[in-house]
Amino acid sequence: MSVYIGQYFSLSRFHENGSPYGEGTYRITVRGTGAYSLLIPEVFSASRVYVNGELAASSGSLAPYRAQVKDLVVPVYLDGYTEILIQTANYTHYYSGVTYPPAIGSPEAVSTLIASRMIFYGFFCFSSLAVALFSSVVWIGMRKDRSSPEDLWLGILALAFSLRVCYPFVRLFGIPVTEPLYALEDVSASLGLLCVTRITSLLCLKAGSLTDRILTGTSFGFVLISGAAPLFLLHLLPGFTPVYGQIVFWYKALLSLLLTGLLLKHCLAKTARPDLLLLPGLSAYFMSLGAHAICLGRFEPARFGWFEEWGSYLLILFFSVRMVLKNIALVRENRYLNIHLQEEVNHKTSALSTLLDERRMLLASFSHDLKTPITSITTFTRLVEMNNTALDEESRQYLDTIRRKVQEMREQIDSLSEFTRQDTPAAAFNPVDLTDLVSEFFQANKDDMEVAGISFELSLAPGPHIFVLGDKNRLISVLQNLVYNAAAFTPEDGTVRITLSRKQNSGKSNAVLTVSDTGSGISPDDLPHIFDRFFTRRKGHTGQGMGLYIVKSVVTEHNGTIWVDSDTGKGSVFTVTLPEKQLEIY
């Protein structure tokens, strides 16, 4: 039986059991004169090349058998008719013999042929790697926003294709590994189809639907099969090799046709313009499979890629363009939202400022209007006491109750007025010398504390004064509430101490203000609530529980923090941190 080189991809056609394994000898007769080079691309077997009966080149070993897939370049001197014999043997993988026709020509022409082929596949390989890197960076950079896994799957698709098309470099240098390289090529091709399936499913199918699970499971199963077949399955069942090749081809063809149909239905239903770009990509891949099947054994590319490789690359190209357009649209949308978000923020801020101004005016008017009747009640109560000396004990108790309730109302109105004064806009903040403010407060209140029998102490940070950006009156109210709150729970001969220091944290300087006492302390049950509004533990329930709430509000408005450490029976330490303002000196 006479066959031409490249007519069959293995020896399975010559065996009744369909096994690709065996030995074969190829005979070539050429005529010419002078020095030439003979290129035998991708000899998928152990081989020997004889020119006029003399051994000229080899790959692997025929006996004992050792496979090596390699491009062979044989120098040939022609003087008339020259006979070239190629002996091959294969007992390990599904390709065998001389699959592609040799090329003969001048050494320069053969070198140019090899170089052009390497450049072409290098472009395919490295451009796909660039797409993989870009897609991965986009996915990592935007996954916390609204990025979908499509970018990640595109990156894996491009990476799988680049691994698949790097085989010419492996064949050129003749790396002595066979089955793992075939498994890598097959897995890369199946992994690429898995990525295409996932991208199409994300666009066209409901996540977790039956069709989605079937497509994903089938594609993932073929990834496993394409890795196991070259490594294990075809060794055990060599006659299964032709069937395996047909299964792989029809799987690719039917899957690409099904995905094209799903995508077409999706685009017609939603008119998604960027998604339309995926249709020509899938269509090109499907047509490339048909062209590959028609030309198999009849056409082998000398310099450029196979039809299926062109189809796969066009698929990646269209998917990449779609990703770029999608992300450009996303960036534009984010920019549009940011612009209009700022407009909305300005509008809401203006409305909120107006509302706060109206509230301040209402509360101020309300507080002022309430003071007049309260004063009248207090005055008439005193007149009753002064002009009616014969009041019985029960009437006097009624008057005491009225006076006490009036005093409670006055304290509530004072707290309301104080809270209203805290509502000044933060834009009015100015640099405040916190060192001078604390010193002046200490001197102004030292006598009052000593009259109460409490030792009042002050400790200031050495060095330059500490400045903060804020409102002086509010900061004074913070000190007043903290110091007098500490004094209320500190017995005679106790100590209240103010400490001001600075602390560096992550390259930023903060002012640290502490007010400590040696009083009764705060119980662990009360600690989580002491900054709540209206919370108080004063004896007799005097006070309105607004002091520490106001302190917390002022500190927060000054971009600061406050916390308390307390030990029951030993005292408490309130710590306030405020960002230090660095003054520019000219």
Q: What is the average pLDDT score of the chain?
A: 83
Residue 586 in this model has a pLDDT that exceeds 50: no
Q: Please, are residues 420 and 363 in contact by the beta-carbon 8 Å criterion?
A: yes
Residue 421 in this model has a pLDDT that exceeds 70: no
Q: Please, are residues 391 and 398 in contact by the beta-carbon 8 Å criterion?
A: no
In this structure, of 19-33, 164-178, 182-196, the range with the lowest mean pLDDT score is: 164-178
Sole residue written with tokens 């490295």: 126
Residue 356 in this model has a pLDDT that exceeds 80: no
pLDDT at residue number 93:
82
For strand 495-505 and strand 467-470, is the pairing parallel, antiparallel, or unpaired? unpaired
CA distances to 441, 472, 549 from 458, in Å: 10, 19, 24
In this structure, of 48-52, 109-113, 174-178, 354-358, the range with the lowest mean pLDDT score is: 354-358
Mean pLDDT along residues 76-88: 90
| Sign, Cα dihedral of 275, 279, 284, 286 | positive
Mean pLDDT along residues 47-62: 91
Residue 423 in this model has a pLDDT that exceeds 70: no
Pick the most confident of 190-194, 350-354, 481-485, 523-527: 190-194
pLDDT at residue number 137:
84
In CATH terms, the fold of domain 12-105 is Jelly Rolls (2.60.120)
pLDDT at residue number 100:
84
Q: Please tell me the total number of residues recorded for the chain in this structure.
A: 586
Pick the most confident of 132-146, 470-484, 532-546: 470-484
Residue 534, SS3 per DSSP = coil
Q: Please, are residues 105 and 66 in contact by the beta-carbon 8 Å criterion?
A: no
State the Cα–Cα distance between residues 221 and 98, nearest whole angstrom: 32
pLDDT band at 171 (very low <50, low <70, confident <90, very high): confident
Residue 429, SS3 per DSSP = coil
To the nearest whole percent, how much of the chain has pLDDT over 70? 88
pLDDT digits (tens, 9 = 90+) for 198-207: 988 888 888 8
State the Cα–Cα distance between residues 319 and 533, nearest whole angstrom: 58
Closest CA to 35 of 91, 92, 90, 74: 74
Q: Please, are residues 560 and 512 in contact by the beta-carbon 8 Å criterion?
A: no
Helices (H), 72-209: 107-142, 150-164, 167-173, 179-204
Residue 359 in this model has a pLDDT that exceeds 70: no
pLDDT band at 363 (very low <50, low <70, confident <90, very high): low
pLDDT at residue number 369:
64
pLDDT band at 492 (very low <50, low <70, confident <90, very high): confident
Residue 461 in this model has a pLDDT that exceeds 60: yes
- Give the distance from CA 299 to its chain's centroid: 46
**Partners of residue 40 on adjacent β-strands:** 72
pLDDT digits (tens, 9 = 90+) for 261-305: 888 888 777 665 667 778 888 888 888 888 888 887 777 788 888
To the nearest whole percent, how much of the chain has pLDDT over 90? 28
Tell me the angle at which helices 307-387 and 393-421 cross, rounded to the nearest 10 degrees: 150
Residue 436 in this model has a pLDDT that exceeds 90: yes
- Report pTM: 0.58
State the Cα–Cα distance between residues 146 and 336, nearest whole angstrom: 15
Mean pLDDT along residues 446-469: 88
Residue 543 in this model has a pLDDT that exceeds 60: no
pLDDT at residue number 301:
82
Q: Which residue has the higher pLDDT, 500 or 429?
A: 500
Tell me which amino acid residue 446 is.
K
8-state DSSP, 583: -
8-state DSSP, 61: B
Radius of gyration of the chain (CA): 44
pLDDT band at 585 (very low <50, low <70, confident <90, very high): very low
Q: Which residue has the higher pLDDT, 533 or 35?
A: 35
Closest CA to 433 of 462, 470, 463: 470
Domain boundaries, the chain: 12-105, 112-326, 357-421, 426-579
pLDDT at residue number 563:
93
pLDDT band at 541 (very low <50, low <70, confident <90, very high): very low
User: What distance, in Å, lies between the first and last C-alpha atoms of the chain?
Assistant: 100
In this structure, of 37-46, 318-327, 374-383, 485-494, the range with the lowest mean pLDDT score is: 374-383
Which architecture does CATH list for 112-326? Answer: Up-down Bundle (1.20)
pLDDT at residue number 434:
94
Residue 547 in this model has a pLDDT that exceeds 80: no
Q: Which residue has the higher pLDDT, 340 or 181?
A: 181
Mean pLDDT along residues 304-324: 89
State the Cα–Cα distance between residues 451 and 322, nearest whole angstrom: 80
State the Cα–Cα distance between residues 494 and 453, nearest whole angstrom: 8
pLDDT digits (tens, 9 = 90+) for 121-158: 999 999 999 999 988 888 887 665 545 688 888 899 99
Q: Please, are residues 574 and 562 in contact by the beta-carbon 8 Å criterion?
A: yes
| Sign, Cα dihedral of 390, 395, 397, 403 | negative
Mean pLDDT along residues 236-249: 85
CA distances to 50, 188, 195, 198, 231 from 220, in Å: 45, 12, 10, 10, 18
Residue 330, SS3 per DSSP = helix
- CATH class name, domain 357-421: mainly alpha
In this structure, of 57-66, 529-538, 541-550, the range with the lowest mean pLDDT score is: 541-550
For strand 561-567 and strand 571-579, is the pairing parallel, antiparallel, or unpaired? antiparallel
Helices (H), 165-299: 167-173, 179-204, 210-228, 234-236, 241-270, 273-276, 278-295
Q: Which CATH superfamily is domain 426-579 in?
A: Histidine kinase-like ATPase, C-terminal domain (3.30.565.10)
